[in-house]
Amino acid sequence: MPKIGMEPLRRRALIDAAIRAIGERGSLDVTMSEIAGRAGVSAALAHHYFGAKEDLLFATMRHILAELGRDLRDAVAECAGLARVRAIIAVNFSQKQFRPEIIAAWLAFYVEAQRTPALRRLLRVYARRLHSNLVFALEPLLPRTEAERTAEGIAALIDGLYIRRALKDGPPDAASAVALVEDYVTLRLGGRHDA
């Protein structure tokens, strides 16, 4: 007889195991059995909870995005203007987000989104939210068209720094990544520091 309340714990264990497996492999070329073994459950149970491997991978990306969203809402709750922009940048390069296995997962999911419509939609939702959050923060500082363009540049730098990091050895250097993006923001704001 199944233990009541175990399903959420096992689902989370499978998602965490998927992140670790993708991070170590550097691709989505992992099996459901491999992920299940890392989570300490049978492959049959993993299939019971998620169906196909693609469903588990979709749930894994949704989990990563949900955590990023929660962290972002907490970080910007009391911020406006430049402080809000900096908070958005900082969250994207936080210790929780900018770690090797999450970086590898992002890269793998970007690649897979080219073939999987559901992942493509999920990543488009993420991109639109990042863009709108940045535009909202930048509008008090720049005209609308400049805010839009600057938001696009910040998002491109964030994505690009994740890709560049995925191609390097050694631990991620979040401080350097944040500094590069903030340098771009300073240039776009023309040295303005008003929040």
Span 23-80, pLDDT tens digits: 888 777 888 899 999 999 998 989 899 888 888 888 999 999 999 999 999 999 999 9
CATH class of 6-189: mainly alpha
pTM, two decimal places: 0.86
The domain spans of the chain are: 6-189
Model confidence at 1: pLDDT above 50: no
What's the pLDDT score for residue 2? 54
Q: How far apart are CA 149 and CA 155, in angstroms?
A: 10
Q: Write the Ramachandran bin of 66: left for phi over 0, alpha for psi from -120 to 50, otherwise beta.
A: alpha
Share above pLDDT 90 across residues of the chain, in percent, rounded to a whole number? 58
Q: Can you spell out the DSSP letters for 115-162? A: T-HHHHHHHHHHHHHHHHHHHHHHTTTS-HHHHHHHHHHHHHHHHHHH
Q: Are 101 and 126 in contact (CB under 8 A)?
A: no
Q: Nearest CA to 62 among 100, 104, 9, 70? A: 70
